[in-house]
Amino acid sequence: MRPIIFNFGDNDRLFQSVAEDLGADLGIVERRTFPDGESYIRFETDCKGREAILICSLDRPDAKVLSLVLAADTLHDLGATRVSLIAPYLAYMRQDSSFQPGEGITARYFAKLLSRHFDWLVTVDPHLHRFRSLDEIYTIPTTVVRAAPLLASWITNNVAKPVLIGPDSESKQWVADVAARANAPALILKKIRTGDHTVRISVPKIEAHRERTPIIIDDIISTGRTMVATIEHLVEMKMAAPVCIAVHGVFAEGAADLLSHAGATRVVTCNTIEDKSNAIDVSSCIAAAAGALDGTHINSRSSTNS
Ligand code: R5P
C-alpha cells in the first residue's frame, strides 16, 4: 500500500517532489496553536494500517520539534504501521562533544528523542564529525543522502576552471569527494573558531591556483562567519571573487548579506532548507532513500545517489 506523507515543514516544493517521486499519498493535517501557545494537531487522512511519513527540515528546530513528536505519537495511536521522518536538514549535530565544563552532548540527547518517536529517519549530509555515523547516536534505521554528486555536477556545468576550497578540516570529507567527482584541485584551510561569531582562517599555498575560480564548499552556512573569513583570506591572496556552495543554507542573522558584502559572486545551496540560493535539487535522492527504507516503489523521475 502507498505510504501517506505529511508536510510539517515550510518547503512545499520539496514536499511535493518527494511525494511524487515516492509515489506517496498526500496526507491532510490540521495544525494550529491554542491561545495558550500549545499545539493542536488533527490528522484528517485516515492512517490506520498505513505507513506515515512526516517531512520537516530541522533548521530553527526548537520551534518545530515538539509538534513533530506529538504528531508521531498521535499517528502511532491512530494505527499507522510505522511513523517515519524525513529531515532534509538534521539539527543538533554540531554539539557532538562537551566543549566546556557544564555542557551536554546535545547531539546524543536529540538523537535519543527522535529515535524514541520515529521508526526510521532519512536526512541529507548531517554534520558528522566526532560521530562517524548516525548509528552511533540513533537507535532507529537511518539513511544519509550524499549531496556530493549533485554538487559536483553543478560545478561541472556552471564553473570553468574551478579550485575547490574547504574552510576547515571538517569540510574535507565533502570537498575531497566533490573535487574528485568534478575533476578539480582542492585545498583545505585551517579554521580557528574563537566564538559564535568569530572565526580565523589560516593560509594554505593558494597562489598556484590564481587563474582558477575559487569555490568555497562547506556543509552548512549558519552565521556565515566561516565563509566570510575564507572569502577575506582569498581577497588578501588576490584570488578571483569566489562562489560559495553549501549543502544546507541555514542563513542565521543576515548571513546572506554578509556573504555578498564580503565579495561572494554567488551563493548556491541544496533545497534542504528553502531559500533563494537553492540551485541543487535533492528531492529525487531523498525519495529514493525513503523508498528503500519503506520498501515502496519509486517513480521513474527518482535516481539513486551514490
Ligand atoms: C562546522 O564545522 C561546519 O562545517 C560549518 O563550517 C559551520 O557550521 C558554519 O557555521 P557558520 O556559518 O556559523 O560559520
105 Cβ neighbours under 8 A, 6+ residues apart: 95, 96, 97, 98
How far, in Å, CA of 242 to CA of 265, rounded?
6
Written as one string, the DSSP assignment of 74-107 is: HHHHTT-SEEEEEESS--S-S--S--STT---HH
Beta-bridged to residue 106, according to DSSP, are none
CA of 284 to the centre of ligand 1 (A): 26
| Confidence at residue 208, expressed as pLDDT on a 0 to 100 scale | 85
**Virtual CA dihedral for 66, 67, 73, 76, nearest 10 degrees?**
-150
Q: Which atom of ligand 1 is nearest to the CA of 219?
A: 4
H or E element, residue 49: none
What three-state secondary structure class fits 114? helix
Q: How many whole angstroms from 306 Cα to the centroid of ligand 1?
A: 25
Pocket of ligand 1 (CB under 6 A): 94, 127, 167-168, 170-171, 199, 218-226
The per-residue pLDDT for 202 is: 67
> Which residues 6+ apart lie within 8 Å of 271 measured at CB?
11, 13, 14, 88, 278, 280, 281, 282, 283
Tell me the chain's radius of gyration from C-alpha atoms.
20
Atom of ligand 1 nearest to the CA of 199: 14
CA distance 171 to 156: 20
Q: How far is the CA of 186 from the centre of ligand 1 (A)?
A: 19
Residues with Cβ within 8 Å of 126's Cβ and at least 6 positions away in sequence, in order, are 90, 93, 134, 144
Give residue 304's pLDDT: 32
Contact 86, 9 (CB under 8 A): no
- From atom 8 of ligand 1, which residue's Cα is the shortest distance away? 220
Q: Tell me, yes or no, if the pTM score tops 0.85.
A: yes
Q: How far is the CA of 146 from the centre of ligand 1 (A)?
A: 18
Q: In the chain, which stretches have pLDDT less than 70?
A: 201-204, 295-306
HSE (CB half, 13 Å, CA atoms) of 173?
13
Helices (H), the chain: 12-22, 65-77, 106-117, 148-158, 172-182, 225-236, 255-262, 283-294
